[in-house]
Amino acid sequence: MADIVVNFPGGKKVNAKIGDFEIKTDQLEESGGENSAPSPFELFLSSLATCTGVAVLSFCQTREINTEGLKIELDVTKDEKGNATNIKTHLTLPKGFPDKYKESVERIAGTCKVKRHILNPPKFELEVK
């Protein structure tokens, strides 16, 4: 069985079933969608941000560092075609975050598995049946 199965519930909606979860996507109204869910590209960007978040959260929890106020934001610069040309991650550390861990958490934030796959992409194949 496939790891991810995509279905088409109508309009511009395209959903993905991953195990017990269903990830919904849609397009903006100006692109013919209903804007009822994030676009696939928005999900791609959010996977980068949340993957970084998992790494940073784990780092803090392992060291029993309070995560209140911890925040990750992505700024995406796009060209005229809407393609990302620069992705900047802003990591806001909680008040009282120990100085001795700042370098380490910065390094950990850069090790996200999604980012590693962008920097070292897998081979892509398409089989049409």
pLDDT digits (tens, 9 = 90+) for 6-33: 999 999 999 999 999 999 999 999 999 9
CATH number of 40-128: 3.30.300.20
Give the sheet arrangement for strand 13-18, strand by strand. 5-10, 13-18, 21-25
Which residue ranges make up each domain of the chain? Answer: 1-37, 40-128
Q: Is the pTM of this model over 0.85?
A: yes
pLDDT digits (tens, 9 = 90+) for 71-103: 999 999 999 998 999 999 999 999 999 999 999
Scored b (16 or more CB within 10 A) or e, 70-90 reads: bebeeeeeeeeeeeeeeeebe
